[in-house]
Amino acid sequence: MASQSKNPLKVIKILDPLLCVRCDHAYIADVLLADGVRKKMFYCSRRDCDNWVSDSSSSQDRDDLDMAA
């Protein structure tokens, strides 16, 4: 059974995706984007992780985030 979250999620840039694959706090989520496209993305339940950077101030970073996901 799929669970739909009502909380907004923050998009982040992952520094080393291999660390997330091996981490016990990371999960792979099947995400439905606003334009109807489905993507697989990491969901991290650890708030103090050093493997990601959260910065949504520039559009260039946003393009990099899409490629990282």
pLDDT of 47 reads: 79
* pLDDT over 70 (residue 3): no
Domain segments of the chain: what residues? 13-68
In this predicted model, which residue has the larger pLDDT, 42 or 7?
42
For every residue of 28-68, DSSP letters joined together read EEEEE-TTS-EEEEEEE--TT-SSEE---S-HHHHHHHHHH
pLDDT digits (tens, 9 = 90+) for 37-56: 999 888 888 878 888 886 65
